[in-house]
Structure 1
Amino acid sequence: MITIWAPDGVGDVGEGDDLAAHLLAVTHDGADLADGDVVCVTSKVVSKAEGRAVAVDRAEAVARETRRLVARRGSLSIVVNRLGLTMAAAGVDASNVAPGRVLLLPDDPDRTARGLRLEIGQRAGVDVAVVVSDTAGRAWREGQTDIAIGAAGLRVLDDHVGRVDPYGNVLAVTAPAVADELAGAAELAAGKLGRRPFVVVRGRGDLVLARGDDGPGAAALLRPEAADLFGLGARDAVVAALRGSVQDRAAYGAPAEATDLRDLLAALTGAEVSHDGERLVVSGRDPRARWVAEVAAYAHGWTTRVVDDLTLRVVPSPPPSAGG
C-alpha cells in the first residue's frame, strides 16, 4: 500500500532558509518519517531558499536560462534550459513572488536533493530519498504534471528490460520513470495553492537506495539530444533545416543510414544518387534539386560539398563538438 500526505503549517520560505528545518518542524522533528520514505519538495521553495528570485524582466530571464530553442508560437517558447530540461519559458516562474521579480529554477536540483537527504538523515536518523519537483507540460497532451528535476537516494528509472510478463513475453523497452511518477503523485496531495511544499510518499521503499548511495539523480532521466526524435517543433525544424547552422545540428539526432538518405534524395530531387563507400554522390545540373539535396542532407545529419557543376558529395556530419 502506498500512503501520501502533505504536512500543513509550512510558513513562507525565504532566501537562506533551512529547508530541512522547515520539513522537520511539520513532521514532529522527523518522528513522522520512516526509513524508505520518499520526501518530495517543490522546486519553488528550493529556489526561494537558494535566492533564485531575481529582479529582471521575465523575457530577459528566459533568455539567460535558455540553451536552445525547441519551438516558438507567438509569445510562448519551449526551450532546452541550462539544466537540460525541455520546458516552457525555461522554467522561469513569475507567480508567488514579489512584483517585478521572477523565480529561476534551482541552480543544481540534484545537488540540493543530496544535501537535503543528508540533513534529514543526520537530524532525524532516517534513511529517506528526496525528490525535487517542478511542473511541466507534455508533448501531445493538454495540461501539466509535476516531474522530478532533482533526486537523491532513489532509483529514478525502474528498468524492466529483460523481465518477462505474465504471458511469457520478454520486455525490451519498458522503463517507468518512477521519479516522475512520485513527483506527480505528490502534487496530487500538495495541490497547487495549498502552501504545502513537502510531501511524504510511503510504500515504495524498494526504490530507496542505501544510506550513502545517492544514485544517479534526476539528470539520468534527460534524453540525449541525439536520441530525441522531437528535438525541434514542426515549424522550427523546417526553419532550422533551411538555416543549416552547426548549432542546430544536434537537434536532428544521429546521421541517417546512407541507404535511407540515398532513396530520399533520389525521390526528392529526381537526380541520380549513387552510394560510394561512406559518401553519396548526387549528379545533375538542376540548381533547385541541388538546394533541396543540401537541406534534406543537413536535416538527416549529413553534410554536402560541391565537387563541380554536376556533382554534389554528401558525407556524414561530424558531431558539433568536433567542429561541425
Structure 2
Amino acid sequence: MPQPAALTVLPVLGIPEIRPGDDLVAVIAVAAADLQDGDILVVTSKIVSKAEGRIVPADDRTAAIEAETVRVVAVSADDRVRIVESRLGIIAAAAGVDASNTPEGTVLLLPEDPDASARALVAGLRAATGVRVGVIVSDTLGRAWREGQTDSAIGAAGVRVFDDHRGRVDSAGRSLVVTLPCVADELAAAADLVKRKTTGIPVAIVRGRGDLVGDLDLPGARSIVRERERDLFHTGSRESWAEGYAAGAASVTDV
C-alpha cells in the first residue's frame, strides 16, 4: 500500500489590506509566487467579501442579518444569539454577518456566491501562473454540541470537497459503507492553524493533496450543506417545542 504524502501548510505573506474592487487574483499571484501543481489555496472569505464590496454600515447589522436569513433555526434563552440558515444554506450565528477584521463602523456580509468566487479565483490563478491549483473559500463556524469554532469551507472550485471511501475496505478488510470525509472542511481548518485570526494572513497554501485538485466543474462547497429533508436537527429545542405546540393546538381546534 502506498504511503501517504506529507502535508504542508504554508502562510501566504505580504497580502495588503483588501478594498472593494481589488483584483484578488493579481494580489494572490504576486504574494504566492512559488505555487506548485496540486497546491490548494485556502482563502479567508473576508478578503473575498471586501473585494466584492460586501460591506455595510454597522448600524445596519440587524437589517443585514435579517436580509441574509431565510430561516431561524434556534434562539438562545436570553435572545442574544440567533442561529439561522442563510440564503447560502449555511447554518450559522447571525447569518455570517461579521464585525471582526473590518473597517471601523462597518460589518461584512458573506460573498454573494462563494463557489462562484472560488471558480473565478481558480480560473484566474491558473491562467496567470500556469499552475494547476484548487481554491477553498473558508469562514469560521461553530459546531453543534461542541465549544469553540473552526474554519470550514463555504466555497470551493477545482478541488474535490469529499474523499469518498464508500465501497472501499479498511485496514482489516471490512467494507466501508458511510465513510465520506469532508476534506474541504479539514483543509480549511488545517489552513487556519497558520492563518489564525490576529496575524493579518488571509491566505494559506495546503501542499500534499494534489490528488484532490481537479476540473473547474467539480461540485462546490454548496454540496456540503445537508438538505433539510435529511437533517434530523433542523430546528432548536425551543422552536421544535413551539412548532409542536402550535400543531397540537391546531388539531384540537380542528376537532
Do both proteins adopt the same fold according to a TM-score greater than 0.5, normalized to the shorter chain?
A: yes
- In the other structure, the counterpart of 1:35 is 37
Alpha-carbon distance in 2 for matches of 1:49, 1:292: 50
Which one has more relative contact order, counting CA pairs under 8 Å at least 6 apart?
A: 2
Spell out the pairing of 1:43-82 with structure 2 (5 A cutoff).
Answer: 43-55=45-57, 56-73=59-76, 74-82=79-87
- In the other structure, the counterpart of 1:251 is none
Shift of 1:99: 3.1
Secondary structure at 1:185 match in 2: helix
Return 5+ residue gaps in structure 1 as ranges: 245-290, 296-304, 310-324
Alpha-carbon distance in 1 for matches of 2:52, 2:250: 50
Alpha-carbon distance in 1 for matches of 2:48, 2:178: 34
Shift of 1:192: 0.6
Contact 1:134 1:147 in 2 (8 A): yes
Q: Deviations over 1:65-113 (max 9, x none)?
A: 0010000012100000010000000000012223332100000000000
Which of 198, 205, 223 lines up with 2:203 in the alignment? 198
Alpha-carbon distance in 1 for matches of 2:90, 2:64: 16
Q: Match of 1:60, as an amino acid?
A: A
- In the other structure, the counterpart of 2:232 is 229
Q: Match of 1:48, as an amino acid?
A: K
Shift of 1:61: 1.0
Alpha-carbon distance in 2 for matches of 1:236, 1:190: 36
Which of 22, 25, 28 lines up with 1:23 in the alignment? 28
The total of aligned residue pairs comes to 247
Secondary structure at 1:41 match in 2: strand
Contact 1:57 1:100 in 2 (8 A): no
Answer yes or no: is 1:9 the counterpart of 2:19.
no
Seq. identity, %:
51
Larger radius of gyration: 1
Alpha-carbon distance in 1 for matches of 2:55, 2:29: 24
Spell out the pairing of 1:130-169 with structure 2 (5 A cutoff).
Answer: 130-169=135-174
- In the other structure, the counterpart of 2:96 is 91
Return 5+ residue gaps in structure 2 as ranges: 1-5
Shift of 1:9: 1.2
Alpha-carbon distance in 2 for matches of 1:113, 1:177: 17
Q: Deviations over 1:43-63 (max 9, x none)?
A: 000000000011252111111
Shift of 1:292: 7.3
Answer yes or no: is 1:119 the counterpart of 2:121.
no
Alpha-carbon distance in 2 for matches of 1:205, 1:44: 25
Alpha-carbon distance in 2 for matches of 1:79, 1:243: 21
Q: Deviations over 1:260-304 (max 9, x none)?
A: xxxxxxxxxxxxxxxxxxxxxxxxxxxxxxx47949xxxxxxxxx
Displaced runs of 4 or more, over 6 A: none
Secondary structure at 2:139 match in 1: strand
Which of 209, 212, 220 lines up with 1:207 in the alignment? 212
Shift of 1:240: 1.9
Alpha-carbon distance in 2 for matches of 1:89, 1:293: 31
Alpha-carbon distance in 2 for matches of 1:229, 1:221: 16
